[in-house]
Amino acid sequence: MDKIAVLTLSLLLGLVPLLAFGQKPEEDIIKTSAGNLKINFIGHASLVLTFGDKVIHVDPVTSEGNYKELPQADLILITHDHYDHFDPAALKILKKDTTIIVGPASCQSKVQDLKVMKNGDRLNLLGLDIEAVPAYNLVHKRPDGQPFHPRGAGNGYVITFGDKRVYIAGDTENIPEMKNLKNIDIAFLPMNLPYTMTPEMVAEAARWIKPGILYPYHYGDTNTSRLVTLLKDIPEIEVRIRHMK
């Protein structure tokens, strides 16, 4: 009997990832002056933003969700060319004839008609103001001394939805350029070692940016409660934890 119980438990545990993969993504609704912004949290660094009738995918990766069951994209934002952010298979599923794909030059050879944005560029796409901002490492580096994310190779994005400004940082540390970000209402900041930030670095960045809502994402096995503790003395920043390992 014990062996049967163990076998049953093992089978159930084995099904957990499959069941989770099929679940509906978490969803938050943000009110803006131009209507609701819907945020769906696919996993890791992958997001879906829906604003009116426009669907924006950020760093879609097939290992994080079943993109055949998600709406196709009007706009796709790629932060950089690492495998957990850039997946040509996901782009193929999501792309319509009218889809606009935005990313850094490092993705250009693999994406037909990529609209290249470099740090500092601004575009108005689908009626949305989009700014590409720096995303890079200063501290964390590979064994050969090269940063995991070199300066200029990737983008973060600031997107304006009505009166709300959303900052999606990409893979970065708490870099000095963050101090120049103004009027950020919602921030997505990455938190995992050795590639991005510690909770302490995210907390420092949040104090600079002062978002009304902070979503740690790309956080792997990092203890998210540590970030909540570090920012508990700043009630103006609401830390929201979603399934974005």
Note whether residue 16 is domain-resident.
no
DSSP at 201? H
**How much is the pLDDT for 22?**
62
Note whether residue 91 is domain-resident.
yes
Percent of the chain with pLDDT over 90: 85
CATH code of residue 75: 3.60.15.10
Note whether residue 20 is domain-resident.
no
Note whether residue 122 is domain-resident.
yes
Note whether residue 84 is domain-resident.
yes
Q: CA 208 to CA 129: how far, in whole Å?
A: 22
Q: CA 2 to CA 8: how far, in whole Å?
A: 10
**How much is the pLDDT for 53?**
97
Residue 207 CB-density burial (10 A; 0-12 exposed, 13-18 middle, 19+ buried)? middle
Looking at the structure of the chain, the number of domains it has is 1
Longest dimension (CA), the chain: 65
Note whether residue 11 is domain-resident.
no
How does pLDDT run across 191-200, given as a tens digit for each residue?
Answer: 998 999 999 9
Note whether residue 9 is domain-resident.
no
Taking residues 228-234, report their average pLDDT.
Answer: 97
Percent of the chain with pLDDT over 70: 91
Which of 238, 243, 227, 154 minimizes the C-alpha distance to 195? 154
Q: Which domain holds residue 212?
A: 25-239
How does pLDDT run across 109-164, given as a tens digit for each residue?
Answer: 999 899 999 999 999 999 999 999 999 999 888 999 898 889 999 999 999 999 99
User: Where would I find the H helices in 31-98?
Assistant: 88-94
For the record, the structure tokens of 89 come out as 């298979």
Who contacts 223 (Cβ-Cβ below 8 Å, separation ≥6)?
199
Note whether residue 17 is domain-resident.
no
